[in-house]
Each structure stands twice: as structure tokens, then as C-alpha cells.
């Protein structure tokens, strides 16, 4: 049978299966300087782990090829999105190197005697090269998804068009449906990973629920950091002297710190809103932890794929039904006892300080007062918590809908915020 050749999706960007990597790297005419190896577990020595034992190491690579080893399952819930930024940056570096080498070679042509230059420049450009090879096991799903992400970012096209570009060069390109959905989500975030993005938060929680069902447990890293953890032992901040001690900004840590800087779709000021136990004042969530749902709709409100389709079709949510919501749905947060064990499907959520019941969770979902089914559900009851503007923001008249309920308006100058996936949109 014929030996597989890598496909060149755009000049200097190649894709192939694992089997074809070694020969591709050995071919100087391809000029490959950067290699992305995607596997699960991540390939440690991508240049050929069966028959090549000279151990170049995961970071070195042979022949001075820079390598990036990426851990990713070819599964619909494989976490493609968080791998994309590093991969596209790596590809960009390779293509920049290629451009620089070509420019240098062209300059040499101008400087030198034409005949000598023609020989030297072609030799130099192939020797110095500049180009990226992306491979996974079969060269069908994971590698092609990563390359499509690069095409989307550099050409500003959507996932389908980018995949078409990949397929033209590499007909068997066929990322799994979950990856395609993640590429669409990435596009909706302007090709930047924004963990504060509403759609991203919904996607993450839905994915977590599926993974919990599959694995039977939730990792500690799967829940959001407790925004009130560092003030929990400091007493009741509301009554502690004249100082508003905790009115300083309590930063998120870990992935949620990304959430706070994201400018779009819920990553702005609202993300800093403070949700406190009404009884004792304990900070239990930030605005950035809230997950919106469409009031009154009896669907899987967390199905962001459906949601995107509906939005694309111009459909809106029920108008003015936000008053029926008696719950603030949130991401799972570290203080929520019972959420992380694989046994309890549902339970009460008690304030981590005063232990009064402030909400509940149910991995199988529950129905909000407005009629919407939310799955999975982690919620705080609006009667048991107070939602406050971030420190330093004047609380002025009016309110904006967040998470299906009215929250204090965050700034006087801010116009009524229209966020399409939140409550308050009119029906089309
Ligand atoms: Zn509701
Ligand atoms: Zn409390």
C-alpha cells in the first residue's frame, strides 16, 4: 500500500497521521520546524515511538524540530478548547519563521549574483525551512480540529468554512461532533478562549455533568474556587467595625481568574457582583459564577448548542418572565458540599458559615420557578441571598437581568445591557 504523505493545508502547515510523522520530518523539502503531537496520553516522543529509541525527549525533538505535546482524547467531550490557544500560537510561530526565512532568502537573491543566489536561496530556504506539522493518531479528528482553529483565527471564517479549507487539502479531515461544536463556541468567543463567556460557562457545566455521569465522580478542579474562602474566618464583614474590609475585590484563583477579565458576555463588571448569604453576609458566589437560563422554556436550558441554533435563527427567550425565577443558577463552587461526590445526585446547599439552607443542587436538573428546566442545577434561592454590585460600583436605580433575576444596576452610565442569552429578550 502507498505510504501516506502529509497534506499541506496552507503553505507551511501540514497534517498527517502518526504513522507518517517520521518520514515527514525526514523530508527536508517540507521544511518542518515545528511539530504538534496530539494524543492521549500525550505522545512523549512523537517522532516515532515504536522503532526510534534514541530518546530526543518531549521538548527537544529530532533535527532541532520544536515540539508541542498535547493531551487530548478523541472524544466528543475531549477538552479541545483549552488546548487551542497554545496550538494556534505554536503554528503561528512556525509560519512566522517560514515567512522570515523566505524574506531573508529573497533579500539574498537581490544582493547576490543571480545565478549563485538562485542556488543558495533555494538551498537555504529548504534547509532553514519554517513550517508546522500537526498530527494525532489517525490524522482525522484532533489534528484537523486544531488546524481548523488556526484557519478560523487567521482568516476570520467560521468552523464549517475552516473545515472545508482543511478538507480540500486533506479529504479525510473529520473532527468529531463535539470538537466541531467546540470550534463553533470558539468562534463565538472571537477565537479567544474566554472562560467568562456565558456560553463557555454553560458548555463547561454541561460537559462536567456528562463527565460525572461517565466517571462517577467530580474532580476538585472541576468546581470553581470558593470566592469567600479567604474571608470565611474573618468574622462577619458587614458588622466588623467601620471598615468595609471585604469590600475589597476578592480575586478568583485558577481558571476563574480568566473569567474576571473577559470583556464579553458576562465577563465584565457583572462578573464581580457579590452574592452573599442574607443571614450572615458570607460571600458565596460572584456574578461570574452565575449561569443564565431562558425563563419559562421547558427545555434543557443549558444546551448551549441548541441555544446557539436558536439565536442564529433569531429566536428569543420569553419576554418579561424573569419575575418567575426564584433561583440563581451557578457553577458548582468549592463550598457546595455533596456536589463533588459521585453518589449524591441531589442535595441541599447550606451557607458555609451559618449553615442556613440557601439553595440546592441536582445533577439531573430541576425546574426554576419560571418553568425552565435547568440541567444540571446548582442554585441559590433569591430569598436567601443578596446580590450586590462589585466594590466601588455605585448602586444606582434600575437593574439588569443576570441569571434570570434582577441584579442591582452596576453603573449609572451603563445603558441597559442587552445580553441575548439572558432574560428579557423579546420573542421574535
Ligand atoms: Zn427561571
Ligand atoms: Zn450564612
The answer to whether residue 234 scores a pLDDT higher than 80 is no
133 CA distance to ligand 1 middle (Å): 48
Is residue 234 in a domain?
no
Q: Mean pLDDT, to the nearest integer, of 137-155? A: 97
Specify if 299 maps to a domain. yes
Let me know if residue 1 belongs to a domain. Answer: no
pLDDT of res. 110:
75
Residue 385 has pLDDT above 70, yes or no: yes
**φ, ψ dihedrals at 87, nearest 5°:** -65, -45
pLDDT digits (tens, 9 = 90+) for 255-266: 322 232 333 344
Which ligand is the nearest neighbour of the Cα of 424?
1
Whether residues 281 and 139 share a domain: the answer is no
User: Domain check: are 224 and 290 in the same one?
Assistant: yes
The average pLDDT across 227-250 equals: 49
| Residue carrying the nine cell digits 456528562 | 210
- Which residue has better confidence, 331 or 298? 331
132: containing domain: 7-188
- What average pLDDT does this structure show over 296-304? 51
| Predicted local distance difference test score (pLDDT) of residue 308 | 52
Query: What are the pLDDT digits (tens) for 72-128?
Result: 999 999 999 999 999 999 999 999 999 999 998 888 877 765 555 555 545 444 446
Kindly identify the ligand whose nearest atom is closest to the C-alpha of 283: 2
Q: Report if residue 388 sits inside a domain.
A: yes
Q: Judge if 287 and 152 occupy the same domain.
A: no
Number of domains in the chain: 2
Cα 276 to middle of ligand 2, angstroms = 8
pLDDT of res. 359: 97
- Nearest ligand to the CA atom of 335: 2
Q: What is the pLDDT of residue 35?
A: 97
224 in the same domain as 169: no
- Ligand nearest to the backbone CA of 280: 2
pLDDT of residue 354: 96
What distance in angstroms lies between residue 281's CA and the mean position of ligand 2's atoms?
Answer: 6
Cα separation, 305 vs 76, whole angstroms: 13
Q: Is 400 helix (H, G, I), strand (E, B) or coil?
A: strand
**Length of the chain counted residue by residue:** 428
Note the ligand closest to the C-alpha atom of 294: 1
CA of 389 to the centre of ligand 2 (A): 19
Ligand nearest to the CA of 327: 1
Q: Find the 393 Cα to ligand 2 centroid distance in Å.
A: 24
Averaged pLDDT for residues 190-214: 90
Mean pLDDT along residues 271-299: 86
Same domain, yes or no: 373 and 342: yes
Short-list 64, 58, 68, 6, CA closest to 37: 68
Using alpha carbons only, give the angle 401, 403, 408 rounded to the nearest 5 degrees: 40
Could you tell me the three cell numbers for 234? Answer: 474573618
The average pLDDT across 399-416 equals 41
In a domain, residue 55? The reply is yes
179 shares its domain with 281: no
Task: Say yes or no: 352 and 278 in one domain.
Answer: yes
pLDDT at residue 293, as a whole number: 83
Let me know whether 337 and 396 are in one domain.
yes
pLDDT score for 392 = 67
- How far does residue 385's CA lie from ligand 2's centre (Å)? 9
CA distance 144 to 166: 7
- Nearest residue to 209 (alpha-carbon basis) of 46, 50, 366: 366
Residue 28 lies in a domain: yes
Give the domain CATH number at 113. 3.90.190.10
Q: How far is the CA of 354 from the centre of ligand 2 (A)?
A: 4
Condensed to tens digits (0 to 9), the pLDDT of residues 301-311 reads 455 555 555 55
Distance 218 CA to ligand 1 centre (A): 26
pLDDT at 232: 54
Q: Is the pLDDT of residue 274 over 60?
A: yes
Residues with CB under 5 A from ligand 2 (ion): 277, 279-280, 282, 351, 353-354
- Choice between 244 and 189, residue whose per-residue pLDDT is larger: 189
**92: helix, strand or coil:** helix
pLDDT at 341: 79
| pLDDT over 70 at 372, yes or no | yes
Expressed in angstroms and rounded, the spacing between residue 359 Cα and the centre of ligand 2 is 11
Helix (H) or strand (E) holding 402: strand 396-402
| 148 shares a domain with 17 | yes
One domain, residues 264 and 329: yes
**pLDDT for 242:** 37
Structure confidence at residue 56 (pLDDT): 40
**Backbone dihedral angles phi then psi of residue 340, each to the nearest 5 degrees:** -85, -15
Q: What are the pLDDT digits (tens) for 2-60?
A: 678 999 999 999 999 999 999 999 999 999 999 999 999 888 754 444 444 343 444 44
Q: How far is the CA of 278 from the centre of ligand 2 (A)?
A: 7
The cell for 410 is 452596576
The three cell numbers of residue 235 are 468574622
Domain shared by 170 and 82, yes or no: yes
Other Cβ atoms less than 10 A from the Cβ of 402: the count is 26
Q: Which residue has the cell 424573569?
A: 322
Output the CA 2–ligand 1 centroid distance in Å.
59
Ligand 2 centroid vs 219 CA: distance in angstroms? Answer: 26
Residue 422 lies in a domain: no
Positions marked active-site: 136
Q: Which ligand is nearest to the CA of 275?
A: 2
Same domain, 105 and 11: yes
Domain for residue 419, yes or no? no
Amino acid at each position: 500500500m502507498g505510504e501516506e504523505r502529509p497534506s499541506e493545508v496552507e503553505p507551511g502547515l501540514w497534517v498527517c497521521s502518526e504513522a507518517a510523522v517520521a518520514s515527514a520530518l525526514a523530508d527536508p523539502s517540507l521544511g518542518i520546524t515545528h511539530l504538534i503531537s496530539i494524543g492521549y496520553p500525550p505522545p512523549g516522543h512523537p517522532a516515532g515511538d515504536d522503532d526510534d529509541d534514541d530518546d530526543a525527549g518531549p521538548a527537544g525533538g529530532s533535527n532541532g524540530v520544536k515540539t508541542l505535546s498535547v493531551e487530548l482524547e478523541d472524544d466528543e467531550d475531549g477538552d479541545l478548547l483549552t488546548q487551542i490557544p497554545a496550538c494556534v500560537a505554536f503554528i503561528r510561530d512556525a509560519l512566522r519563521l517560514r515567512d522570515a526565512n523566505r524574506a531573508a532568502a529573497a533579500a539574498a537573491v537581490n544582493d547576490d549574483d543571480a545565478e549563485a543566489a538562485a542556488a543558495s536561496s533555494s538551498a537555504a530556504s529548504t534547509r532553514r525551512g519554517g513550517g508546522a506539522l500537526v498530527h494525532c493518531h489517525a490524522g482525522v479528528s484532533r489534528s484537523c480540529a486544531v488546524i481548523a482553529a488556526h484557519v478560523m483565527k487567521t482568516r476570520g471564517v467560521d468552523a464549517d468554512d475552516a473545515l472545508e479549507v482543511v478538507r480540500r487539502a486533506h479529504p479525510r479531515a473529520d473532527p468529531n461532533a463535539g470538537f466541531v461544536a467546540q470550534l463553533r463556541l470558539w468562534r463565538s468567543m472571537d477565537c479567544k478562549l474566554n472562560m467568562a463567556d456565558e456560553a463557555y460557562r454553560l458548555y463547561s457545566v454541561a460537559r462536567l455533568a456528562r463527565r460525572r455521569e461517565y466517571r462517577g465522580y467530580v474532580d476538585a478542579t472541576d468546581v470553581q474556587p470558593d470566592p469567600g474562602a479567604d474571608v470565611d474566618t474573618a468574622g462577619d464583614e458587614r458588622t466588623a467595625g467601620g471598615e468595609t474590609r471585604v469590600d475589597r475585590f476578592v480575586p478568583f484563583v485558577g481558571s476563574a481568574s480568566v473569567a474576571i477579565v473577559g470583556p464579553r458576555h458576562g465577563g465584565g463588571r457583572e462578573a464581580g457582583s457579590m452574592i452573599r448569604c442574607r443571614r450572615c453576609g458570607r460571600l458565596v458566589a460572584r456574578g461570574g459564577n452565575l449561569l443564565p437560563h431562558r425563563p419559562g422554556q421547558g427545555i434543557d436550558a443549558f444546551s448551549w448548542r441548541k441555544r446557539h441554533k436558536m439565536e442564529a435563527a433569531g429566536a428569543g427567550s420569553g419576554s418579561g418572565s424573569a419575575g418567575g425565577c426564584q433561583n440563581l443558577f451557578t457553577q458548582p463552587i468549592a463550598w457546595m458540599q455533596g456536589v463533588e461526590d459521585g453518589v449524591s445526585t441531589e442535595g441541599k446547599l447550606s451557607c458555609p458559615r451559618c449553615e442556613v439552607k440557601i439553595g440546592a443542587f441536582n445533577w439531573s436538573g430541576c425546574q426554576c420557578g419560571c418553568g425552565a428546566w435547568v440541567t444540571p442545577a446548582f442554585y441559590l434561592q433569591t430569598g436567601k441571598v443578596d446580590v450586590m454590585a462589585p466594590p466601588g460600583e455605585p448602586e444606582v436605580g434600575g437593574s439588569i437581568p443576570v441569571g434570570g433575576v434582577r441584579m442591582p444596576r452596576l453603573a449609572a452610565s451603563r445603558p441597559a445591557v442587552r445580553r441575548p442569552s439572558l432574560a428579557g429578550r423579546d420573542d421574535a
